[in-house]
Structure 1
Amino acid sequence: MKNAIDFSEFPRISDKAWKQQIQVDLKGGDYNELLTWTSPEGIVVKPFYSAEDLPVSDIKSADSPRREWRIGYALDARSSKSVSLLENHLENGVETLWITVHGENTENLPRLATLDAPQFWDACTLDEKFADVLKTAATSSVHILVDPIHSLAESGNWATDEKIDFEVAGNLARQEGVRASLAIHSNLYQNAGANRIQELAYALAHGCEYLEKADTDNRLKPLLEEPVFLVATGSDYFFEIAKIRALRRLWEILSQAYGFSGKCKIIASPTLRNKTLYDYNTNMLRTTTESMAGILGGADLICNLPYDALYHPENDFAARIARNQLLLLKHESYFSSVRNPADGSYYIESLTDQLGQKALELFKTIEKGGGFLSQLQAHTIQKKIAESAEKEQKAFDKGDLILVGTNKYPNTDDRMRDVIEKDPFRAMRKVQTRIAPVLARRLSESNERKRLEDEQS
């Protein structure tokens, strides 16, 4: 390069010197009060970072291999429009499908299996009859995901019972021609209000239960060669990038200790927790940055969330917008052209390390307390998530945590009652459960219920 600058001519500026200069510029203002803030996880964020902040622990993830991310689309197989919708998506840029499949309404599965694209079938039902349907319908393009613990955590009950659920999972792995993996739905914990350290620690402890069971049940081992983590990305952009990077490294450390490769796949999708019914177009801004965080964090598959998912059933227009957001990021913003862009960033590397270290400490505490399943059945996990969710809810209610268009700058003329086509609030099921389920809740629900009531008056 002609006339290249020789940076060795410039003296190195220490952190201390930078801070002293900032203090001068503040003209007596308090550095910590004005320029630092503390995250919900207790991590102090500074106004600048340098090479001195690069981690030296095992959580660091520099020099990670290049990761190619794919545009995904998520759909429930029970949707009457599922096949036609997915065919349209595949013709217009979607590369991989994430399909939620259930034990009922399985008639679409054979047709879905014929679609010419890689597919993840997220099996919500675990019983022998449904497993037989999966094995019969699945093709070489279908990758079946099973997560027995997620069934217990989300619904409060095992799909059948613990023994049978794991037998069904193990038998899938032994079926010739069937690709299957264990999944860890850490998105459940995030959508219920867990902070990022809890989310990472619970995902790790959740996965550790499978590693422990594989020690005594060889059928499960093939399912753990490359498990799949399902992650919800929130609105704190840099923290979410760091969270995904820390998760991948934490799993590598843990699974290698059990003799596995350390590989995993990560499917990232925007959180539901901050999505709103009113001023719903703002959801497009949220999902764009949340998808970007998933990409830069190194997720393998990004599945966007339609902006109207709270109040509209699946529809062509919103689905096209969600797909096009990812197409723009990949092909016009060139998010697929840079090799691991977060690597080496002083700030993100520091966050990755701090989140990873704190999550590892919490994980060890869970293991000392009997493990994830034991603490889930003792309602310890639910209590801790509820405490974190309540803290976040109070911040939202006070206006310290802002959702534009909802608790800040709301459009008082906005009317939603007449356009709602499905219930935007989680319905509480009146069924007997073995344990208290982990319930996903949105921050704006109380606000929205009141506004809907006011529309009637």
Structure 2
Amino acid sequence: MSDPLKLASEFPSADYASWRKLAEEALKGAPFEKKLVTQTLDGFAVQPIYTNDDQDDATRLIHEVLNASVEPRETVTGWDIRQLHAHPDPKLTNAAILEDLENGATSITLKLDAAARQGREISSGEVGVDGVAIHCLADLQLTLDDVYTNLATIGLDAGAAGVPAAALLAAHIANAEGADEAAPAFNIDPIGTLAATGALPCNAEDAINHAASVACELIDLFPLATAISVNGAPYYNAGATDGQELACLLASGVTYLRALTDAGMAVDQAAGAMVFNVAIGTDFFAGIAKLRALRMMLSRVLSASGAQDATISINAVSAEMSLSKVDPWVNMLRTTVTSFAAGLGGADSVTCLPYDHLIGLPDGFARRIARNTQLILQEESNVHRVIDPAGGSWFIENLTKELAQTAWSKFQSLEAAGGIIKVLASGSLKSEIETVWQTREKRLATRRDPLTGVSEFPNIAEAKVKCDLPDLETIRAEAKARQTKYDGTVGKDLASMMEAARSGATIGHIFTDLYGTSAAARVAALTPHRLSESFEALRKRADTHKAKSGSFPQVFLANLGKVAQHTARATFARNFFEAGGIEAITNNGFEDADAAASAFANSGAKIAVICGSDPQYGEIAGNVARALKSAGATYVYLAGHPGEARADYEAAGIDEFIYVGADVLAICGTALDHLLGKRGEK
């Protein structure tokens, strides 16, 4: 008797060959490789389906390697929920930190202001710009008042002033209760700073060696700390592929590993002193695979270096490249994807950026959503309960392998070229990343890579998100009042810097004593990009015009016939033009050319787009175009690919065609130039 509980027992077993045959029949002659196989920017193919036959010895080993490189305790406690703080006022930042820690965040990152990050004094006009005004120990103590540094990790983002800022934080924590239990993330990173800003206060080799020397002292003082950050975000946010970011992370990590061991650390201790900061985009499966591939590659490096423990720390952060300024509410969905991928990929800590991160300073609601995104993933979805939850997925295992192999090859190329510093100095890496960005731009312009709320389903009438504007004048005055005069000379060792900080030395004073006042290392900095930036530029032009005139630039939809006949292309045309900030004036359709022309003349619009079905176009599109031009239309579009009828349509007065695969950015940019003038509202 057959087993009644065996599901689908009456059906024949499935196999790849049978599936492939059915898929090709459904394609009706269209090429399988073109329609169903995805080519990644890294140059390898992603198949539409994977089976156990796609497993090999390499993929079967991935899960085993990852199990050995992850702390089992994380399945109990979950990853570290890290919140970024950059409000210029230390008092308000302190209140926000306490609120975050009381409501689910487990650690924080303090981003110092532009003046402190560049080692400038409190008199600089950049005090309070793009970060917290922390310049002396008193500022830091105010910011971290009532924060138990032995319970919550305090991370720093201090740019070129990473060493002086680390001395301030070390001085603060060393005097606090439970200092030996503290696990601060000092995040000293001269390589990442050079890539992002193009400058260092001393030559790169000296900066790396000094960072390694100070790192040794920091780890001696705080054994649970991480001292060095290996940051991949500048590369990814400049447009790099996942493989390129991984290669840069690996090349930077190897450079720091050499410096730390040269400074006296054992390999295992040096690996533990570093944290790898990885930018996660909205390609969910690629995000998971990227973190898994990084662990696998670093395990190989550490094993080859003689390390007994291959455990490393990874902080994953939402990639700024993936966020948008327009329709920022969609950023909540984007950061949910990035945080989910980070959790499944095995990140030790995750920074989920607030949805309004690009617009201004986040309020309590934005920070709460960022916290709760991760809390729900942990407490309700239990994402952290399994080590390497993606292990065993035929697709993700193969994606991890392909990504690791691609990244390893790129890493070898970087090493053969002399290492990460040399390729930054030569500009070759910047050039490679810019080439990838140009490819991304083409895919975005044609909506091959769609952006929800930006290039697809835009809402030009959305309510704008407003963020608080800080009172920089008051913040600067209060910062000056906290300063005390320090006339001493600061030594290069950590103890001397900590003592100077306790005596009132500012970050700027320590920085100047260490490095002088002029940048000694300069390269062409990587240019940060966002996927939505070109669409945002068009939307900004349209918004500026609306602010001046009271209305958006407009296009009239000359819809033909009944709703069922024109609705598909009318909807397409509306999305197409509103992605560029041009409002679409729609209607229920017109039976003839004269009716369409009359309605156009009454609309006040200057341009029109004809929307209907192919049979309608063959019958009356030419007449409608001529009637629209007679009614004053200065530019006429047709929604749909013209095919062999292009010449006839153009002869009738149709100027341009919009269709799937057309360049939205170019066409909308030209339309705005036509409506506003080439220099209008730019």
Structure 1 gap ranges (5+)? 424-430
Distance (Å, rounded) in 2 between the aligned partners of 1:48 and 1:449: 39
Of 114, 137, 140, the residue aligned with 1:109 is: 140
| % same residue | 28
Distance (Å, rounded) in 2 between the aligned partners of 1:342 and 1:264: 19
Q: Is the 2:188–2:211 contact (alpha carbons within 8 Å) kept by the matching residues of 1? A: no
Larger mean Cα displacement after TM superposition, 63-72 or 198-207: 63-72
Distance (Å, rounded) in 1 between the aligned partners of 2:347 and 2:93: 25
Distance (Å, rounded) in 1 between the aligned partners of 2:414 and 2:229: 20
Give the CA deviation at 1:371.
1.3
Q: Deviations over 1:308-360 (max 9, x none)?
A: 11112131111111111111111122223344220100000000000000111
Aligned residue number for residue 82 of structure 2 = 72
SS of the residue 2:407 aligns to: helix
Give the CA deviation at 1:276.
1.2
SS of the residue 2:228 aligns to: strand
Distance (Å, rounded) in 2 between the aligned partners of 1:4 and 1:79: 65
**2:233 corresponds to 1:157:** no
**2:231 corresponds to 1:185:** yes
Residue 74 of structure 1 aligns to which amino acid in structure 2?
A: L
How does 1:271-290 map onto structure 2 within 5 Å?
A: 271-290=319-338
Q: Residues 26, 157 of structure 1: CA spacing in aligned structure 2 closer, same or farther, 3 A cutoff? A: closer
SS of the residue 1:281 aligns to: helix
Of 412, 415, 419, the residue aligned with 1:371 is: 419
Give the CA deviation at 1:267.
0.8
**2:462 corresponds to 1:414:** yes
Distance (Å, rounded) in 1 between the aligned partners of 2:460 and 2:262: 60
Aligned residue number for residue 53 of structure 1 = 54
Matched residue pairs, number? 448
Larger mean Cα displacement after TM superposition, 210-219 or 302-311: 210-219
Q: Deviations over 1:377-402 (max 9, x none)?
A: 11111111111111111211222221
Give the CA deviation at 1:247.
0.6
Give the CA deviation at 1:412.
2.5
Distance (Å, rounded) in 1 between the aligned partners of 2:535 and 2:26: 42
Q: Residues 220, 395 of structure 1: CA spacing in aligned structure 2 closer, same or farther, 3 A cutoff? A: farther
Residue 413 of structure 2 aligns to which amino acid in structure 1?
A: T
Distance (Å, rounded) in 2 between the aligned partners of 1:127 and 1:293: 29
Aligned residue number for residue 39 of structure 2 = 38
**2:362 corresponds to 1:352:** no
Give the CA deviation at 1:98.
2.9
Residue 270 of structure 1 aligns to which amino acid in structure 2?
A: S
Q: Deviations over 1:221-263 (max 9, x none)?
A: 6443352111111111111111110011111111221223322
Distance (Å, rounded) in 2 between the aligned partners of 1:12 and 1:335: 32
Q: Deviations over 1:78-117 (max 9, x none)?
A: 5432221111111111122233355653434335285233
Aligned residue number for residue 227 of structure 1 = 274
Q: Residues 412, 223 of structure 1: CA spacing in aligned structure 2 closer, same or farther, 3 A cutoff? A: same
Distance (Å, rounded) in 2 between the aligned partners of 1:394 and 1:122: 36
Give the CA deviation at 1:215.
4.7
Of 418, 436, 451, the residue aligned with 2:524 is: 436
Residue 426 of structure 2 aligns to which amino acid in structure 1?
A: A
Give the CA deviation at 1:450.
2.9
Larger mean Cα displacement after TM superposition, 274-283 or 163-172: 163-172
Q: Is the 1:170–1:220 contact (alpha carbons within 8 Å) kept by the matching residues of 2? A: no
Of 517, 535, 541, the residue aligned with 1:453 is: 541
Q: Is the 1:173–1:180 contact (alpha carbons within 8 Å) kept by the matching residues of 2? A: no
Larger mean Cα displacement after TM superposition, 49-58 or 403-412: 49-58
Distance (Å, rounded) in 2 between the aligned partners of 1:372 and 1:149: 8
Aligned residue number for residue 88 of structure 1 = 99
Give the CA deviation at 1:129.
4.6
Aligned residue number for residue 305 of structure 1 = 353
Q: Residues 123, 249 of structure 1: CA spacing in aligned structure 2 closer, same or farther, 3 A cutoff? A: same
Give the CA deviation at 1:171.
2.4
**2:223 corresponds to 1:197:** no
Aligned residue number for residue 166 of structure 1 = 209
Give the CA deviation at 1:26.
4.6
Give the CA deviation at 1:161.
3.8
Structure (1 or 2) with the greater helix fraction? 2
Larger mean Cα displacement after TM superposition, 248-257 or 217-226: 217-226
Q: Is the 2:108–2:154 contact (alpha carbons within 8 Å) kept by the matching residues of 1? A: yes
Give the CA deviation at 1:61.
1.9
Aligned residue number for residue 429 of structure 2 = 381
Q: Is the 2:106–2:153 contact (alpha carbons within 8 Å) kept by the matching residues of 1? A: no
Distance (Å, rounded) in 1 between the aligned partners of 2:56 and 2:368: 41
TM-score (norm 2): 0.61
**2:327 corresponds to 1:262:** no
Distance (Å, rounded) in 1 between the aligned partners of 2:87 and 2:544: 36
Q: Residues 58, 19 of structure 1: CA spacing in aligned structure 2 closer, same or farther, 3 A cutoff? A: closer
Distance (Å, rounded) in 1 between the aligned partners of 2:287 and 2:83: 20
Superposed CA RMSD: 3.0
Larger mean Cα displacement after TM superposition, 5-14 or 203-212: 5-14
Give the CA deviation at 1:297.
0.8
Larger mean Cα displacement after TM superposition, 52-61 or 305-314: 52-61
Of 174, 177, 189, the residue aligned with 1:147 is: 189
Of 206, 213, 216, the residue aligned with 2:259 is: 213
Q: Is the 1:181–1:223 contact (alpha carbons within 8 Å) kept by the matching residues of 2? A: no
Q: Is the 1:120–1:145 contact (alpha carbons within 8 Å) kept by the matching residues of 2? A: no
SS of the residue 2:156 aligns to: strand
Give the CA deviation at 1:449.
2.7
Distance (Å, rounded) in 2 between the aligned partners of 1:173 and 1:216: 11
Give the CA deviation at 1:141.
2.1
Q: Residues 118, 415 of structure 1: CA spacing in aligned structure 2 closer, same or farther, 3 A cutoff? A: closer
Distance (Å, rounded) in 1 between the aligned partners of 2:105 and 2:270: 26
Residue 248 of structure 1 aligns to which amino acid in structure 2?
A: R
How does 1:126-141 map onto structure 2 within 5 Å?
A: 126=161, 129-138=164-173, 139=179, 140-141=181-182
Give the CA deviation at 1:405.
1.6
**2:299 corresponds to 1:252:** yes
TM-score (norm 1): 0.88
